[in-house]
Structure 1
Amino acid sequence: MKVFITLLALAVASAAAAPKTVHPKDLPRTNKIEGRITNGYPAEEGKAPYTVGLYFHGGWWCGGSIIDNTWVLTASHCTGGDGVTVYFGATWRTNAQFTHYVGSGDFIDHSSEDIALIRIPHVDFYHMVNKVELPSFNDRNNDYNEWWAVACGWGGTYDGSPLPDYMQCADLQIIHNSECAAYYGSVADNIICIRVVDGKGTCGGDSGGPLVTHDGNKLVGVTNFVAAAGCQSGGPAGFQRVTSHLDWIRDHTGIAY
């Protein structure tokens, strides 16, 4: 199992250390939630047909997004073990419409950023299993500041909660990277952050899951980190910015808009 802890740079040498971040799946086991949404709402069937559950055969869960009949997008800190079972069309996480096993030879990790592709057997689309579209190349400079988006996945509704395996969704507002950096000290350009208000945000277990805009239903983020102090501590949650990786995705999959 890969374990990554992201440390943010000090704002200045004389300042106190900036708050740390942690990948949601790597939260301490005493607080760990095998899911990712806190204070969300239950999803009706077909709410997010692009969302898949990923059980890696090293013993951990992540989330992912269907972006084509043969591709899933997730986080590279998730990939590991000898393969993964992909759960398609599951409202109740382990009660999928169907599953596929994929060996690790079909994982493609980005060489330096926390994003990955999984080549899957061809799946046909219908109301319970479908793709989410990527942003177009014309949107590569859109920072989506103050846009509303939805994140869906499975898991606890608060830090340390029991495991409600029913899919949860939360409506979240994207913020400018300067607001995110004001909390953490620095944030890379390839990160997109959301504001955590009233404890609504992403949490442990299903790293790699989607952040999809309300306007246009475009996949703009892949779950990367939360504040190490806890999912409900008020620190912004961070995602890989999909528009930063459109060339990489196109080069490996041929998908482009």
Structure 2
Amino acid sequence: MKAVVVVVIAGIALAAALEQPVPVKDMPVGKSVNGRITMGYPATEGKVPYIVSLVFSNGNGGSWFCGGSIIGHTWVLTAAHCTNGASSVTIAYGSVRRHQPQFTHVVQQNDILQHEAYSTKTLNNDISLIRTPHVDFWSLVDKVELPRYEDRYNNYYGWWALLSGWGKTSDDSGVSDYLNCVDIQIADNSVCESYYGSTTITPNHVCIATPENKGSCSGDSGGPLVLHDVNRQVGIVSFGSSAGCLSNSPKGLTRVTGYLDWIRDHTGISY
């Protein structure tokens, strides 16, 4: 059920000059982080059957980790800053422990569809699709639905949603082995605009305020933000502040409703 819109302390905007966004996968984190997805809780098996872990390779020995979501039998949704520069990706399905998936698929560059207008500077249009071999759905591996066309102008301010991922626990650690979740209330975009500026924040973003340091951290990039009540994905983890995961700074996500036509045109998926 829609909750009361978050009232955000004005000091967040006043305390910092406008910042350039930092991809969440590159955000610095403090050594005292508790809970991967910061200040979250461990996921139970089957709680988030639509999430996948993604290990990208650039073909030259470089690799990086992100999250993604299953949106159809042959499609995964993630962030463009995750796919950018990748020559292949290994997709792991159906696990809370990252190293113990139900199965994996390796997908090559030709099946990675990055938004043609993605900007590495502002991180606008931070969305990509990955075409996969056919995946059957069951209790541990299932799709998440996208917003319906009739909801494309819903800003979801004040709605509660679930964020999940395997983000880092400290600067010295790798990504977490165990999937974590956190419950997030969607904020007004003005909160992020005050921090990052109107050039960075557009109507195609979802903003989350983090007054209790609850949110995404390095390694959570590309992961889904899914509404509690209707199990529909409304956001893709995109960027945060260079001040770090525990800086109480707001974070920006790609707003899925802004790309329903783009997703439909490439996948045929619509609601």
TM over 0.5, yes or no? Answer: yes
> Which residue number corresponds to residue 101 of structure 1?
106
State the SS of the aligned residue for 1:111. Answer: coil
Q: Name which of 72, 77, 99 aligns with 2:81.
A: 77
Q: What are structure 2's unaligned runs of at least 5 residues?
A: 1-15, 118-124
Q: Give runs of aligned pairs for residues 139-218 of structure 1, distance below 5 A.
A: 139-157=151-169, 159-160=170-171, 162-163=173-174, 164-186=176-198, 187-218=201-232
Q: CA RMSD in A?
A: 2.0
Distance 1:25 1:53, change over 3 A: same
Counterpart contact for 2:93–2:104, Cα < 8 Å: yes
Q: What are structure 1's unaligned runs of at least 5 residues?
A: 1-15
Shift in Å, 1:155: 2.7
Deviation track 1:82-121 (CA, whole Å, cap 9, x = no partner) reads: 2100000120012100000001100001111110000000
State the SS of the aligned residue for 2:80. Answer: coil
Q: Distance in 2 between matches of 1:78 and 1:156?
A: 16
Shift in Å, 1:185: 2.4
> Which residue number corresponds to residue 255 of structure 2?
241
Shift in Å, 1:81: 2.7
Alignment of 1:224 with 2:238, yes or no, is yes
Letter in 2 for 1:225: F
Letter in 2 for 1:185: G
Alignment of 1:116 with 2:128, yes or no, is yes
State the SS of the aligned residue for 1:231. Answer: coil
Q: TM-score, length-normalised on structure 2?
A: 0.83
Counterpart contact for 1:38–1:156, Cα < 8 Å: no
Deviation track 1:204-236 (CA, whole Å, cap 9, x = no partner) reads: 123110000111011000110011111111111
Letter in 2 for 1:84: V
Shift in Å, 1:24: 1.1
> Which residue number corresponds to residue 127 of structure 1?
139
Shift in Å, 1:195: 1.5
Shift in Å, 1:17: 4.1
Deviation track 1:156-203 (CA, whole Å, cap 9, x = no partner) reads: 35x537453100000011011112212222211111011213211001
Shift in Å, 1:30: 9.3
> Which residue number corresponds to residue 49 of structure 2?
49
Distance 1:30 1:234, change over 3 A: closer
Q: Distance in 2 between matches of 1:199 and 1:177?
A: 18
> Which residue number corresponds to residue 8 of structure 1?
none
Counterpart contact for 2:208–2:251, Cα < 8 Å: yes
Higher mean C-alpha deviation, range 77-86 or range 237-246: 77-86
Counterpart contact for 1:133–1:218, Cα < 8 Å: yes
Q: Distance in 2 between matches of 1:28 and 1:43?
A: 24
Letter in 2 for 1:71: W
Counterpart contact for 1:62–1:205, Cα < 8 Å: yes
Letter in 2 for 1:25: K
Higher mean C-alpha deviation, range 186-195 or range 161-170: 161-170
Shift in Å, 1:29: 9.2
Q: Distance in 2 between matches of 1:97 and 1:197?
A: 36
State the SS of the aligned residue for 2:150. Answer: helix
Counterpart contact for 2:27–2:241, Cα < 8 Å: no
Shift in Å, 1:28: 5.2
